Structure 1
Amino acid sequence: MGKSGRVFVRGLTSQTYGLGEFRRRQLAVDRVRDDSVVVDDAKVGHSGDSAKSRTWWRIGPGDEDFLTQTIQVHFVELPPESSNHGHGHQNEAAFYILEGKGYEIHDDQRYEWNKDDLVFVHTDSVHRHFNPYQERAVALVVKAKCTWMFMGLIQQGRSGPVEEEERFGPREDWSRIWTPGVLDRKKVISPADTTWQDTPLGRVRVMSSPERTDARIFSVDAFELDIPAGGHSGKYWKMADEVYYVLEGGGYALQWEVEAEIAEKYYARIALEPKRYDIRQGDTLYVPQNHVCQIFAADGTPMRLFNAQNRVFKHLGYDTVHYFEPASNATS
């Protein structure tokens, strides 16, 4: 969080055209964060918390040790028989339910959720989260909020009257400018809505992707990755950055920086030696833009991870993942 308030979008300035020094500083930041890291306690410039609910941030644009603003990560805790404050924002958000169960009220409609569900707050949603049960509920929240901020979609806040209402006409249906058919899409993706598949990356269940046209989200792609004890994921190269959250188990990740050689065209130069990052349950692992990555389950137990990334990369021409090596349990 910034010293004088919440940072919604981080600026990028340079005295030179090349941005290599900026990238070097960014890549020098530790990419593993655990429960000891709270970069924003939601006391300034936030609207969601009630007297009982709690929100804390792990990755965001205002972080002093800046990783990314492409994908933001925070947590929401609802104690038994509690709720947060209702509010609205133009950006989407995806809630992965880590513990408990409860329900949402979005635009005056109710949506139930349980552990391991992925819940979508849709674009331009007035929403509130409820836990009416006797056990606490905890959600991992990922969002591409800065994408909306960059594009000037900043109309957000709590419910209330319009300022200078006399300047404006009567209410119109906001959904007139939404994507056709969006109201028929799922707001909650449960395990029953997904299937585990063996892929070059490993055993994966996809919850959100461009191919999942039944899911009401357009900015965040998400999947779970299951790595058997002693096994490893595929060794892959992609342009989009991403965040892993370790749901179960532990091990380490290897990441190879990719340098751009700008000659008569762009060439990729992959680092000869990777950086190693040890990870365990509850950690987030950040994979920067334009990196090669491979993850190993190395504590004697299987490792299960949740992955999130900003879908906008796929609309910019970076929709391919290249595999140098398949996962240890991949089928040929």
Structure 2
Amino acid sequence: MNTRRLGRAAALMLVLVLATCATLAGCGPKKSGERVQVRIGEVTRSIFYAPEYVAVEKGFFKEQGLDIELTTTFGGDKTMTTLLSGGIDVALVGSETSIYVHQQGTGDPVVNFSQLTQTDGTFLVARKPPEGPFDWNKLKGSTFLGQRKGGMPQMAGEFTLKKHGIHPQNDLNLLQNVEFANIPTAYASGTGDYVQLFEPQASMFEKQGKGHVVASFGVESGKLPYTVFMAKKSYIDKNADTVQKFANAVQKAQNWVQQSSVDDIAAAIGPYFQDTEKDIVRSVIKRYKDQGSFAADGIVDVQEWNNLQDVMEAAGELKKRADFNTLVNNQFAEKAKQNVK
């Protein structure tokens, strides 16, 4: 699963230039028949985003008069570039990307309006199964295969290590030079004592006997606006009715996921993961559902926002704390939570 997030100032310069061009060209949803088309760019294809696929497959967007064009944009930088250049209307990506763009300066900020996941989605995998509660001190002196620097997974990982009194650079051999797609293969071939993995790789490793989940970075790092639907402020201002309908559909999907069994959720999202074994899909859904990763509503609360910035600050990736009211608009999620049952 590729959830690399935008974390480099240089990568944003082109983004902002394209955003300016898109603003001059104008934007707005395209109508398809009587429905309004909304183009979503998701940062990756992931079971982590189950409520999104439920909203499409169960027809919740169509009930709201929306036709969804869903594209996987593969990476935070590409997702944000596509959003700001007008290639998509709504991005599903980590909230830190909206902060990175804001740090570079823009007259049309990217605004978070409907949260989908509320924890980190990675797990600590060891070569041996856990014997009781995991002792984080075991990591000291070990070789740890981590995620790429600047992305939220890496920041949440380092935040957790520091929380347990472990200095990522001094207390262990931290490897961050392996390409994201090659991390599972590197660990399976013998690199590292521990690895930070996304699903479904973690569950696949357990099934294959190549590793064992011993802890959850999602549980350890706390609630975060980890993956959120966002759009340019200009788009939201121009298409408030469409954004409200979008938030309504997401809320209905969130309600459905909260109330449904693992098997029912797996059946609903199955068409999006035909190459993944069904028992692995169920295992991943159960793991995320049990730890509360799927947000019950789209509201990004202040505590989550502050926790996100604490994580970014601890990683040295935050120039200045971003104003909540500038980059978060909860009016659509709040109305959806109140009205959608």
More helix by proportion, 1 or 2?
Answer: 2
The structure with higher relative contact order (CA 8 Å, sep 6+) is: 2
TM-score strictly above 0.5:
no
Normalising to structure 2: TM-score of the pair?
0.29
Between structure 1 and structure 2, the one with the greater Rg is 1
Which is strand-richer, 1 or 2?
1
* TM-score after normalising by structure 1: 0.30
